[in-house]
Structure 1
Amino acid sequence: MGNKNKWGNLYLVLVFAVLYAPILYLMYYSFNSAGNMHEFEGFTWQWYGEVFQDTRLMIILINTLVIALLSSAIATIIGIIGALAIDRIQRRRLKDAVLSLNNVLIVSPDVIIGASFLILFTIVGIKLGFASVLISHIAFSIPITVLMILPRLQEMSPTLVDAARDLGASRRDVLARVILPFIKQGIFAGFFMAFTYSLDDFAVTFFVTGNGYSTLSVEIYSRARQGVALSINALSTLIFLFTTALVVGYYMINRRAQTRTRRSEPAAEMGVPR
């Protein structure tokens, strides 16, 4: 048993090393005063200063954050409605079919999704730019939010809803005061997942961006093709740290909520008011 744990831990170390070594390499040379990624000459903040002095890059950063926040919020709202609708489907085969259609959008290659949206926008006559990117990000974020919210919704006992209705609560009150508070962890999880997906997406965005409008992922790609610039390393480091902070923040919020739930359960069983 001990040898299995040892080899399992070694495997995990190797996997994380492969995943994070290139990122750490990129971050390390973002502080290189030599201006290349071959020889570290000295420590400098020069490349980070260039990032914040680049007006075009700051505008693109704002565009990216606006798209990510709007698409995540809208996708989460639609995801709540979708999860509620799926949960109420009585026929097992129909529910499985709907879930399969939802999951197909997640596992489908981004290139196919991006090309499909490009064809759709061309046919419909939607100009490529802010609207096309926003619609695309909402579309591929909805299945993610549904998958985050639906399991939490399925954990809820039907007796909670029945009890609320017996006490005279309307459908709106049941939704606002019973269902939504119960599934709020899934809602936050769906929002954060959609936000990070939108923030990091390249393939779909690359197809639906127009002239004069771009996001960080597309901008980094276009600059990287022109040659090695350590300002790209600095920008990528900032994005990585930002997404890491989001994940850690969500983890801490989720853990605090779970701790609060565990503390409230014994009190509820003993009849002590929360």
Structure 2
Amino acid sequence: MRENLSPGSKLLLVVIFFILYAPIFYLIFYSFNSGGNMINFESFTLDWYRELFHDTRLLIIVLNTLVIALLSALISTIIGVIGALVIRDFRSRQAKNTILSLNNVLIVSPDVIIGASFLILFTMAGIKLGFYSVLLSHIAFSIPIVVLMVLPKLQEMSPTLIDAARDLGASRFDVVTKVILPYITPGIFAGFFMALTYSLDDFAVTFFVTGNGFSTLSVEIYSLARQGISLNINALSALLFVFTLVLVIVYYFITQRNKPSGMGVKR
């Protein structure tokens, strides 16, 4: 049975959530301020949002960010699922642990080191910094995330399911597509949405590999913030927060829908 939280633990939890969300709601609140500053709230207005949607350059950057995020999440999910299947089939525990350690390097390494490494790599390879350099970088740091999301579901899967499918005459392709993939679907969705959010939020790596004429929202917001206070940033941040919240809700309902229903007779 679950233990009830003590009053002190509940208070600590409330304080932590307040510290995390107060700055976000502070930005959102002042995105509706007609005064043009973040000190005195004069009156409610949607002018900053209208100005935001009339900024063609910013809309192109939003489109760039979404395309990069969706493409990198899709490609990294495909590669990550294949990688997790390969890692699961390793018989040597030492080899499996070695591959997992290498997989985790991009997760535990500082973003600055990763970004600088990609910059050096693309420069030496003659790859022009821009759309493709950002896309390749996002795919590279998203693959380990997908592997970590999918691998636990594979390890949780009973080998008897595969044995039963083979006994019934299923080919290796049928086993993968009709037994394994349906079982690990929640892990695949989790990996895809994690890769998507990481790509949308990434700044450090993208900052290193972005070239002239191409930018993403995180880099653009940083550039705008350096120029001074503008409530356009607040409006943009508010929309990003709502979009991320929608992604989380969609992911929650998808995982709830894909949860295996209980089987057997209750006693």
Q: CA distance change for structure 1 residues 70 and 4 in 2, over 3 Å: closer, same or farther?
A: closer
1:24 alignment partner AA: F
* Whole-angstrom CA distance in 1 between matches of 2:221 and 2:4: 44
Amino acid paired to 1:266: G
Per-residue deviation at 1:256? 2.5
**What residue number does 1:174 align with?**
175
CA separation in 2, counterparts of 1:51 and 1:187? 35
Structure 1 residue 141: Cα displacement = 0.2
Report the structure, 1 or 2, having the larger helix content.
1
Report the 3-state secondary structure (helix = DSSP H, G, I; strand = E; otherwise coil) of the residue aligned with 2:6. Answer: helix
Q: Which runs of 4+ in 1 moved over 3 A?
A: none
Alignment match, 2:45: 44
Q: Map of 1:181-200 to 2, 5 A cutoff?
A: 181-200=182-201
Q: How many residue pairs end up in the alignment?
A: 264
Q: Compute the displacement of 1:171 (Å).
A: 0.9
SS in 2 for 1:13: helix
Correspondence for 1:126: 127
When normalised by structure 2's length, the TM-score is 0.96
Is 2:265 aligned against 1:262?
no
Residue identity opposite 1:54 in structure 2 = D
How far apart in 2 are the matches of 1:103 and 1:16? 28
Deviates more, 1:248-257 or 1:118-127: 248-257
Gaps of 5+ in 1: 270-274
Separation (CA, whole Å) in 2 of partners of 1:237 and 1:43: 15
Deviation at 1:71, TM superposition (A): 0.3
Paired residues for 1:1-274 under 5 Å: 5-258=6-259, 261-263=260-262, 265-266=263-264
Distance 2:90 2:8 in 1: 45
Amino acid in the other structure paired with 1:159: T
Give a deviation string over 1:52-111, Cα, whole Å, max 9, x none: 100000000000000000000000000001100111111112211211121121011110
The CA distance in 2 between the partners of 1:110 and 1:72, in whole Å, is 18
User: Once superposed, what is the RMSD of the aligned Cα atoms?
Assistant: 1.5
Shift of 1:257: 2.3
User: Is the Cα contact below 8 Å between 2:185 and 2:258 reproduced in 1?
Assistant: no
Question: Please, what TM-score do these two structures have when normalized by structure 1?
Answer: 0.94
CA distance, structure 1, for counterparts of residue 196 and residue 65 of structure 2 = 10
